[in-house]
Amino acid sequence: MLTYILRRLLLLPVVLFALSLMIFSLQMLLTPTQRLAAYVSGPEALKGGAEQVADLIEKYGLNDPFLVQYGRWIGGVLQGNLGWSETARQPVADALISLFPATLELVLLAFTLSFLLSIALGTLAGVNLNRLPDHVIRLVTILGWSFPTYVFGLVMLLIFYGALDWFPPSRLSQWAMTEVRSAEFVRYTGLNTIDALLNGNLPVFWDALRHLILPVVTLTFVSIASLTRIMRTSMLETLRQDYVRTARAKGLPRRVVERRHARRNAMLPVVTMAGMELAAMMGGVVITETIFDYHGLGQFAADAAAALDFPAVLGFGLYFAVVLVVMNLLVDVIYPVLDPRVRLR
Amino acid sequence: MKIVRYLFLNPLSLLGLTLLLGFVLVAILAPYLAVPEAYQISPYDTPRAGFWATPQPISSEAWFGTTQGQYDIFYAVVWGTRTAFKIGLGVVGLSVVIGVTVGAIAAYYGGIVDEVLMRIVDVFMAIPFLIAAMVLTTLLGKGIGQMIVALTVFGWMGYARLVRSEILLIKEMDYVNAARSYGAGDLRILALHILPNALFPVLVLATMMTGSMVLTASALSFLGVGTEAGYADWGQFIAYSRNWIVGQAGNPFQYWYTLFFPGAAIFLFVLAWNLVGDALRDILDPHHVS
């Protein structure tokens, strides 16, 4: 076990190095002038016009050989310097850190919800093979899989905001925002719902929740389809196993065998896929946050991309890649704990 | 032939095939269904009936109404079909070529070659697909060529992994050893004896990915990094509808047509590919009970 974890940990820097090389290569597609933005710390640094730009390109060596520039860039990145973002009007690293809790709150809720729901639905379909619940669930998942996130999100917005006015877009109402920013409100985690509860402020909690519902539903809807299918297939396989028949034979009721014996083992492939689904959800966040005007990392990235704010877009890409690599490592490490049959090399 | 029969007998895949045929017809007949105006430089530039911002409802002039900026929705839906086919088939075609090549080399030579190539695959898979594509399209600029490149650069890995695992199974088979024993070269064995037997799973994956690539491409357009303003592209037109999602007070569904028509087009297109791909996968699956 320990050697396995060590091996994975040793591989981590290699993967991160290759990743940084890739992001940097992408960056080299830009002209030196465009890339200069990543090196200046604010707009005031470029007051001198074209001449100063040329000077700065010279100063920062943006015409140097690839490897020289890479070394300099990675040095900065390791110290947390990702350049200046025009869209956020602050350094990229600061923007990423300040927006992270908002996205985390959204993804955590949506991920938990879609994980639990897909296991429930997949089990339901699996134990009812070729009966009505199975057909309905299969149809809904394939429809859901073909439905573009943003069309679904816009329809949600149309119905629940436009027609019914139940769930408004954005992250908090104006009054709640004022309250959250006031001195009495302590930001423990940056997650609005949790902070509101910790502060004992129920109105703010409800407001935060009200704003979360539509984005969470949209994100869940998108990722639930594939997980449900996997759970269904896996459940079908597990129900064919000998030990399930044994459990039935010794007189346990069907429901108990299905819920307790079969479902638990059938969940394993879903856990494996959950890591990848989380990655897909990170992509979905960009669209969902944009639709619902939810001020998080995703909307920031979308705004930055539309405004050709290269340092922000590249910093965002690097940031998410690192988060993902670390998360996949965690899943790999946890997996053998769940399934002792997995042999650790 | 058994495959073709299955595809036509299964109601869901038949629906998928019918939808696909419909889209192919629309794409071919586009110049007759939505006639480009004489002044248009490219038929993909959607004609506009003025410059007024507010969408206009369905009329005899604009069959699906006009969206923000008076772009004709019917025209964009029709020509957008060609855009969707170009992107879907373009990305998947290129990705298959790259992925199959990489996967075949990795599996056939094994050892250090395999290790290096697969670690490269891992790195490419480390960034969430949509985000990677968004970053690259932002750098390359707008246009469907650029989108195809961006989606391909981050979309070939699945095929590489699949082909690799298929070939690892096949290359140990007796007939491959037999071919080698009478002196067939590496390239000949790979191209003529191994690859043809590994291609059906690739076809299944490619079919399933075509719809999803079109979805991602339209998401890029939706985010504003995809195509130029007014380009006949479904995602772009859904992006236009965003500002008109909520109608005036008392009439929340006033501008429904701005979202409905491009949204339905992309949904049906992706659904068609998924239905066909799903049926193909059922055929492939050894556990499949027909």
Which residues, numbered 247 to 266 in chain B, qualify as contacts with chain A under a Cβ-Cβ cut-off of 8 Å? 247, 252-253, 256, 259, 263, 266
CATH number at residue B60: 1.10.3720.10
When pLDDT is cut at 50, 70 and 90, the band that residue B269 belongs to is very high
A244 and A287 part of one domain: yes
Q: How far apart are CA B34 and CA B79, in angstroms?
A: 8
Distance from CA of A236 to the nearest CA of B (A): 10
- Spatial neighbors of A64 by CB under 8 A, at least 6 apart, are none
pLDDT mean over B47-73: 75
* Residue at a domain's end among A45, A66, A90: A90
d(CA A236, CA A240): 7
Distances B30 to A315, B24, B79, B200 between C-alpha atoms, Å: 42, 10, 6, 32
In this prediction, residues B6-23 reach a mean pLDDT of 84
Across the interface, whether the CB atoms of B131 and A305 are under 8 A apart is answered: no
CA distance A257 to chain B (A): 23
Distance from CA of A114 to the nearest CA of B (A): 18
| B140:A317 CB<8 A | no
Residue B257: alpha-carbon gap to chain centroid = 24
pLDDT digits (tens, 9 = 90+) for B152-178: 999 999 899 889 888 888 888 888 888
Find, among A342, A343, A330, the residue nearest to A268 by Cα.
A342
Which residue of A142, A148, A157 is in closest CB contact with B245? A157
Total count of domains within chain B: 1
Residue pLDDT, tens place only, A215-256: 999 888 878 888 888 888 888 888 888 888 888 888 888 888
Return phi, psi of residue B226, to 5°: -85, -85
* Distance from C-alpha of A45 to C-alpha of A168, rounded to nearest angstrom: 40
CB nearest to A320's CB, from B131, B219, B246: B131
pLDDT of B92 reads 95
* CB–CB contact A324 B222 (8 Å): no
Question: What is residue A230's three-state secondary structure?
Answer: helix
CA distance B243 to A25: 36
| Maximum average pLDDT range among A155-169, A190-204, B14-28, B121-135 | B14-28
pLDDT of residue A345: 46
B245 closest CB neighbour out of A27, A162, A316: A162
Instruction: Tell me which residue of A94, A119, A345, A92 sits closest to A234, measured CA to CA.
Output: A119
Mutation target among A151, A232, A236 for the B interface, most CBs of B within 10 A: A151
Residue B21 lies in a domain: yes
Examine the domain organization and report whether A192 and A230 are in the same domain: yes
Find chain B residues with C-beta within 8 A of A301's C-beta. 131, 134
Q: Are both A225 and A136 inside the same structural domain? A: yes
User: Domain range spanning residue B109?
Assistant: 2-284
CA distance A201 to chain B (A): 31
Q: Identify the residue whose tokens are 């380009």.
A: B231
Contact B238 A291 (CB under 8 A): no
- Say what the pLDDT of residue B289 is: 45
- Among A57, A90, A123, the domain boundary falls at A90
* Residue numbers in B near A146 (CB within 8 A): 211, 267, 270-271, 274
- Torsional sign, CA B82, B85, B91, B93: negative
| Pick from A139-143, B22-26, B222-226, B283-287: least confident | B283-287
Residues of A in contact with B222 (CB under 8 A): 150, 287, 290
Could B215 and A163 be called an inter-chain contact, meaning their C-beta atoms sit closer than 8 Å? no
Q: Are residues A111 and A188 in the same domain?
A: yes
The reply to whether B289 falls in a domain is no
Nearest Cα to Cα of residue B129 among B144, B106, B151: B151
As a whole number, mean pLDDT of residues A328-334 equals 75
What is the rounded average pLDDT of the residues B45-49? 76
Most A-contacting residue of B10, B12, B122, B131 (CB-CB within 10 A), to test interface: B131
Residues A101 and A52 both lie in one domain? no
What is this structure's pTM? 0.82
Q: Is A313 part of any domain?
A: yes
* A344 within a domain of the structure (yes/no): no
CB contact under 8 A, B245 and A158: yes
A54 inside domain: yes
Q: Do B263 and A151 touch (CB under 8 A)?
A: yes
Q: Is B138–A151 a contact, with Cβ atoms under 8 angstroms apart?
A: no
B126 touches chain A (CB under 8 A): yes
Alpha-carbon span A38 to A41, nearest angstrom = 8
Tell me, yes or no, whether A320 lies in a domain.
yes
Domain that residue A120 falls in:
96-338
What is residue A221's three-state secondary structure?
helix
In a domain, A345, yes or no: no
Identify whether residues A78 and A102 lie together within a single domain: no
Of residues B271, B267, B238, the one with CA closest to residue B255: B238
| ipTM of the complex, rounded to two decimals | 0.77
Q: A228: which residues sit within 8 A by CB, 6+ positions away?
A: A117, A118, A121, A122, A125, A137, A141
Based on the domain organization, do A37 and A131 belong to the same domain? no
